[in-house]
Structure 1
Amino acid sequence: MLHRSLARFEGDRVFTCLPDNGGYAEYVTCKKNYVFPLSERLSFSQGAGLYVPYFTAYRALVIKCRIKPGEVLLIHGASGAVGIAALQLAKACGVSVVGTAGTLEGMELVKSLGADFVFNHKEKGYLNNAVAAIGGQGFNVVLENLANINLGADLTVLNQQARVAVRIPVVGSRGSVEVNPRSLMLTESTIIGVKLMGNTEEEHLEAAGVILKGIEDGWVKPIIAREYALEEASQAHHDIIHNKGARGKLVFKV
């Protein structure tokens, strides 16, 4: 059924993936299997914030970490675009979520989106407080959005057989990090690298089916932090790296 739904007609509202870049262009070409209908429930700006965050979250949590109902997920940086997508997906899957953010506004956003607990990752001892909040057993899954800062500490708050997903590109890890392998040995946990373009065709269509249904069911709701004109591209690049406290997706309006 999903293959048939990929057929699009002139004038249809759509969103797409551009694996060969080109997202700043007025006109683009792409493979038909990477073009999806954009529901009237969402704006075009929200459509621009669908593919990378939601398909990345799906690959990380479902395909790679095989998250299960009843598990407990820690999302480091839950107020960013991928963090928000992961939070919405996890709650739809019956998973308890602890999210972190670096500002009061970000924390309020994460809580409003359904996180069970929210902590400020700039505060000393926040990870210990997070573990205490979930009963002291540690996390089954961690989605790490800044591995070079957090990965070593993540490994100290894991439950048995836990999985830690580290995503790329650069915003997921900006350098090296020191870890203690003993933490992995004690819990028999796994660190998993996540690359969106690692999806097979079958995985790509699987994710698309879940996300399209999530839009219609109402739980897929991209949050747009700011819209930029194309002339503001350099400012957008600066903001995505240097802003302290993400609150959704940054998009261009062409």
Structure 2
Amino acid sequence: MKAAFITGHGGNEVVRIQDCTLPPRAPGEVLVRVHAATLNQVDLYMRNSGAGITHQLPQIMGLDAAGIIDEVDACDPILQPGQEVVIHPGISCGRCEYCQRGQTVLCTRIQFLGEHRDGTFAQWIHVPATQVFPKPAHLGWAEAAALGVNHLTAWRMLFSKARLQPWETVLVFGIGGGVSLAALQLAKAIGARVIVTSRDDAKLERAGSLGADHVVNSRSGHVVREVMAFTGGRGADVVFENVGEAVWPLAMKSLARGGRLVTCGATSGDQPGADLRRIFVRQLQIFGSSLGTLAEFNDLLGFVTRSGLRPVIDREYPLDALHAALDQLESGAQFGKLALRIDGH
């Protein structure tokens, strides 16, 4: 089969599209013929260094995917050959204390596709049957693949961690990236008010067309002032943040008393000022989050099916154009997800 490998660490010179042999499927696993996958920031991180993530080279890239089941155990009670499915990218041990409580994403031995083991940028992949879920019928392949990382991450952040309510206001930093757009879509789908920020007016305009209630160009330096004006001086109930150090002071000052900040990234740095006095005087809550559990993925897929939500796809590339897709991701110019069509599908 054809697959995209990282063969070392550096730039695109270490990313190669080449033929390889697919290992045999083990009992309890599902063989999925991949139709689409999407790019995530971790793909750049694994290419650049992969520091701190146990992995072996060469390794197939890619976290999420959607495709069709080619093989599955005959005794499987749910899945069958020919079924359209999406893949949850975090493979947990099933035995540690966190797995036993259903918090599979906190598993002490979790392995992520494209990080700790071969990933989804390949014509076929086999994963444990527990990782495979029916694809929402109204979505295209790229749209479905996008749910496995960005929308699942945003779902856990907004609803499991911050417990956003329909009558509340959420501030979303860095609109245009996949997880921030997912947050906008999910928050609006339940009826919440959403404020978004970006340094790009074109991205803010597009966010407005997707339902953002108020947009703020963060270049102005007036994020906090704009949030307070929009909320009548109260502040946002929830701040959704994946930028880190560069926006942390603004995020903290934009929260209402008793507000909740949820974060899943630190692309601009991971050592911001703590602002402890503000935290305890205003009784703020801060949550860290990443990805989501199997149960949360199941809930997300049901919500997407009922609501008709469609992830935003910026552009699709053939697998052979992965270098161009990585360059586009690195530029930060995209609005929504960059997707790969695997083997021309």
User: So what's the TM-score if we normalise by structure 2?
Assistant: 0.64
Q: 2:177 aligns with which of 59, 73, 80?
A: 80
Cα contact 1:103–1:120 (8 A) shared by 2: yes
- Cα deviation, 1:13-57, whole Å, max 9, x if unaligned, reads 211122331121211111222212223311101111111111101
Residue 10 of structure 1 aligns with an amino acid whose one-letter code is P
**In structure 2, what is the equivalent of residue 234 of structure 1?**
323
Residue 187 of structure 1 aligns with an amino acid whose one-letter code is R
**In structure 2, what is the equivalent of residue 150 of structure 1?**
247
Cα contact 1:225–1:250 (8 A) shared by 2: yes
Structure 2: runs of 5 or more not aligned? 1-75, 91-111, 114-118
Structure 1: runs of 5 or more not aligned? none
Q: 2:224 aligns with which of 110, 127, 131?
A: 127
Percent sequence identity over matched residues? Answer: 28
- Cα deviation, 1:118-153, whole Å, max 9, x if unaligned, reads 112222213311221121101111110201211122
**In structure 2, what is the equivalent of residue 190 of structure 1?**
285
What is the DSSP-based 3-state SS (H/G/I as helix, E as strand, rest coil) of the residue aligned with 2:314? strand
Q: How many residues align?
A: 241
What is the DSSP-based 3-state SS (H/G/I as helix, E as strand, rest coil) of the residue aligned with 1:49? helix
What is the DSSP-based 3-state SS (H/G/I as helix, E as strand, rest coil) of the residue aligned with 2:125? coil
Mark the structure with the bigger radius of gyration.
2
Could you say which structure has the greater relative contact order, defined with CA pairs below 8 angstroms and 6 or more residues apart? Answer: 1
Cα contact 1:6–1:36 (8 A) shared by 2: no
Structure having the larger proportion of residues in helix: 1
CA distance in structure 1 between the aligned counterparts of 2:321 and 2:131, rounded to whole angstroms: 27
Deviates more, 1:13-22 or 1:234-243: 234-243
- Cα deviation, 1:213-249, whole Å, max 9, x if unaligned, reads 33223342100112223233334334323324x4101
Cα 1:127/1:145, change in 2 over 3 Å: same
CA distance in structure 2 between the aligned counterparts of 1:40 and 1:251, rounded to whole angstroms: 19
Structure having the larger proportion of residues in strand: 2
Cα contact 1:45–1:251 (8 A) shared by 2: yes
Per the TM alignment, residue 182 of structure 1 is displaced from its structure 2 partner at its CA by 2.1
Cα contact 2:237–2:256 (8 A) shared by 1: yes
User: So what's the TM-score if we normalise by structure 1?
Assistant: 0.86
Residue 14 of structure 1 aligns with an amino acid whose one-letter code is V
Q: 1:104 aligns with which of 201, 209, 220?
A: 201
Q: What does 1:164-203 correspond to in 2, within 5 Å?
A: 164-168=261-265, 171=267, 174-196=269-291, 199=292, 203=293
**In structure 2, what is the equivalent of residue 40 of structure 1?**
137
Q: 2:307 aligns with which of 209, 218, 230?
A: 218
CA distance in structure 2 between the aligned counterparts of 1:216 and 1:130, rounded to whole angstroms: 32
Q: What does 1:14-33 correspond to in 2, within 5 Å?
A: 14-19=85-90, 20-21=112-113, 22-33=119-130
